[in-house]
Amino acid sequence: MQITWYGHSCFLLTSESGYSILTDPCDQETGYELHDLVCDAVTISHEHHDHNCLAIVAGSPEILRKPGEFHAGEIPVTGFPSYHDDAKGANRGENVVFLYLIDGLKVLHLGDLGHMLSDEIIEQIGDIDILLAPIGGVFTLNAKMATTLADRLNAKVLIPMHYKTPALHFNIEGLEPLLAANATRRVHHLNANTATLTRETLGDRRLLILDYKRN
């Protein structure tokens, strides 16, 4: 499968067959200038402008934005209920954590998760291959919490998202705390916004840092 990071929490997940799922499209107020993104389906973790901007998406893809079990083309997708804060949604509302099974790999996108997942949800999800996790704190998990959750899920590859970059207008934490919290993971700075991962090339306990899409 191929993973492309457009910035913030927006990724394009493309299977070997060419079917693609876009996650959490963000509007240009974030600082990421995205438009006319092509995909077959879109998952939206919650209804905030930096995660649900369908105006930047071309065509009429299938939209998934609730918990439950679905199929996007040939890809099984499961949405798990969660919250945008540590007060059961009282401050920032609900959030959906999406699990995708693509080319035999389990990929988990946390959206704007603001708390540690419960033991019950972690057990339902099981061990995963690739974790797409917010690390910026303030509105979501911070680097330490994301690392702890990656360990609890036995994630082979941790890919950070929703953190401070030169493009982002939000005042949240950058990559440095994540690097400090992952002394036991191999760090791979790809210097590109797209990575191709297979069962054979996945590796184990790896921190994969993608560059965001630049105009």
Check: CB of residue 197 under 8 Å from CB of residue 130. yes
Q: Which pLDDT value is given to residue 24? A: 98
Domain 2-209: assigned CATH number: 3.60.15.10
Q: Which pLDDT value is given to residue 215? A: 61
Cβ within 8 Å of residue 7, ≥6 positions away:
26, 30, 31, 32, 34, 165, 167, 168, 212, 213
Would you tell me how many other CB atoms lie within 10 Å of the CB of residue 117? 20
- Mean per-residue pLDDT of the chain: 95
Check: CB of residue 115 under 8 Å from CB of residue 85. yes
* Sequential pLDDT tens for the chain (215 residues): 999 999 999 999 999 999 999 999 999 999 999 999 999 999 999 999 899 999 999 999 999 999 999 999 999 999 999 988 888 888 888 999 999 999 999 999 999 999 999 999 999 999 999 999 999 999 999 999 999 999 999 999 999 999 999 999 989 999 999 999 988 899 999 989 999 999 999 989 999 999 998 76
Q: Which of 92, 46, 100 is nearest to 74 (CA)?
A: 100
How does DSSP classify residue 54? G
Dihedral angle of Cα 105, 109, 110, 116, to the nearest 10 degrees: 10
How does DSSP classify residue 141? -
